[in-house]
Amino acid sequence: MRPTNNIIIVGFGSIAQALLPLLIENYTNAQIVIFDKEANQNQQSIAKEFSATLNKQLITNENFSEVLSPLLSNHSFLLNLAVSVSSIALIDLAQRFDTLYLDTCIEPWEYEFQKDHTLTSNHHLREEFKQYVQSQTPTTTALVAHGANPGFISILLKKAMIEMAAINNIHDRPTAQIAWAELAEKLQLQVIQISERDTQITSGVRKKHNFMCTWSVDGFITECLQPAEMGWGSHEETVPPRAKVIDHSLKLTERGQEIIVKSWSPNYLEFFAYLLTHNESLSIAEYLTLGNPLKPDYRPTVYYAYHPCDQAIDSMQLLTEGSERQVATKEVLKDAIVSGIDELGIFLISKKYKSFWLGSNLSIGKARKMAKHNSATSLQVVSSIVAGMKWAEANPKSGALESEHLDWQYIYDFAERYWQPIVTQETDWRPNPTDNSLLFNNFRVAPNC
């Protein structure tokens, strides 16, 4: 176990603020230093409350090495919790100082418009990261895309697969990638949804040009405007019009906010959701591939189906021009939330067996009792961050890797109490009761739903 006595945080938005109570609980003797482009009175107050040092400093491609290097050592942990701060650049810097690293999303320095007029895709960012990893000799541990989803949802995937298998008298206990893929094939999983229904609400009314959501507004807007992407299953018969299949992933021409799909959860039952691009949709699909990736023997279709809180959905109308030009102000809903839950889980849909959902029904009330400055959404993220930090300290020479390659039981055992109640349920639900083929087209719904 490598002890951490210095935690450096880049970005001090809602997630970093929600993380501080858990850091203080788990790292009683560590110094916490934060860098953010802003340092308003609320941020300063929260930092002071937890004895953290907040520096008003935008981290850029020009200054990141000069600013961060003096703080890095083999007893430091670098957390990248900012939008548009390059994951690869910070990982490379951390490696030079033997410093542990974690982020919740693979980020570039800047999201650029591509030739097809879409923002930089997650597939592109992830492939750049994979190429970087392949060019390096594995050294200090760097966990990428390890928040709630992406991140802990890949831990829940493995738990759900084992529980679903046991219900159906399959007693496999995989320990390697190929064994997990073989179990998925044995379960005849054709569709895996990361299923999320956020019902948290405030009593206030959204102002005309104010964009509201329960986590990073900048991060959510980026996902809405990026092209919709998903892992593409081997059972799929027809590629959607103008879409492109690249290895294990499918890139649609529409933006995430323009693709609506059917999903299901134990509390809300059937609901409509937006197919937003997410790292885990691609990493899970690749992880569960058998055979030649270009022509696989088996691969499930994997995607993130997200129904944000009502005020976030209302805010999304500001993005109809394909940009955020209509957005005047931004607001993360936290203290103003009066009720609701963030129902987030993994939904396994099988050709042969009943479908299986496993996930959290965490409420705003319980989240606030567990940790100050948190909502149900943020606590799911920050508990996974700390669990990942603990795993990295116990495995400090594992190189750069994604959540599928971690010890799922270790991560789950740490974060479970923050995610409770964790619900499991079988269901006969199908997106189309008259067609059991589980093709992606059966999940899509009209945009005016």
Residues of the chain with CATH 3.40.50.720: 6-143
Beta bridge partners, 357, equal 347, 425
- 110-113-118 Cα angle (round to 5): 120
Q: What percent of the chain has pLDDT over 90?
A: 93
Dihedral class, residue 11 (left if φ above 0, else alpha if ψ from -120 to 50, else beta):
left
DSSP SS3 for 396? coil
Q: How far are the Cα atoms of 86, 189, 192, 232 from residue 412, in angstroms, in the given order?
A: 28, 22, 19, 27
In the DSSP assignment, the letter for residue 436 is -
Is the torsion defined by CA of 236, 238, 244, 247 positive or negative? positive
265-281: average pLDDT:
97
- Specify the domain boundaries for CATH 3.30.360.30 within the chain: 152-374+418-443
Rg (CA), the chain: 21
CA angle 103, 388, 22 (to 5 degrees): 90
CA distances (Å), 157 to each of 113, 122, 143, in order?
A: 33, 20, 18
- The 10s digit of each residue's pLDDT in 396-427 is 999 999 999 999 999 999 999 999 999 999 99
Residues 7, 32: Cα–Cα separation, whole Å: 5
Question: What mean pLDDT is predicted for residues 205-209?
Answer: 94
Least confident of 223-237, 287-301, 306-320, 434-448: 434-448
Q: Indicate whether 244 pLDDT > 90.
A: yes
pLDDT value of position 436: 86
Range list of β-strands (E), 91-173: 100-103, 142-143
Q: Which residue has the higher pLDDT, 2 or 392?
A: 392
* Measured distance CA(209)–CA(15) in Å, rounded: 23
CATH class of 152-374+418-443: alpha beta
**Per-position DSSP letters for 236-280, written without gaps between them:** ---PPTT-EEETTEEEEEEEGGG-EEEEEETTTEEEEEEEE--HH
Among candidate residues 235, 238, 350, the one with its CA nearest the CA of residue 298: 235
H-helix or E-strand containing 173?
none
pLDDT at position 228 = 96
For residue 112, what pLDDT band results from cuts at 50, 70 and 90? confident
When pLDDT is cut at 50, 70 and 90, the band that residue 343 belongs to is: very high
| Sign of the alpha-carbon dihedral angle for 48, 51, 55, 61 | negative
Return the H-helix or E-strand segment holding 112.
none
- Per-residue confidence (pLDDT) for residue 447, from 0 to 100: 63
Q: What is the rounded distance in angstroms from the CA atom of residue 97 to the CA atom of residue 92?
A: 9
Confidence of residue 449 (pLDDT cuts 50, 70, 90): very low
Taking the C-alpha atoms of residue 110 and residue 92, their distance in angstroms, rounded to an integer, is: 18
Average pLDDT over residues 341-364: 98
| Range 6-143: architecture per CATH | 3-Layer(aba) Sandwich (3.40)
DSSP codes, 320-331: TTSSSTT--EEE
- pLDDT tens string 116-174: 767 899 999 999 999 999 998 879 999 999 999 999 999 999 999 999 999 999 999 99
| DSSP designation for 52 | P
Predicted pLDDT of residue 119: 87
Interval 217-234: pLDDT, tens: 999 999 999 999 999 999
What confidence tier does 448 reach under pLDDT thresholds 50, 70, 90?
A: low
- Among 82, 73, 87, smallest CA distance to 7 is for 73
> Mean of the per-residue pLDDT values for the chain?
96
Interacting residues of 434 by C-beta distance below 8 A, sequence separation 6+:
none
- Respond yes or no on whether the N-terminal peptide bond of residue 308 is cis (omega within 30° of 0): no
**Nearest CA among 159, 149, 142, 150 for reference residue 389:** 142
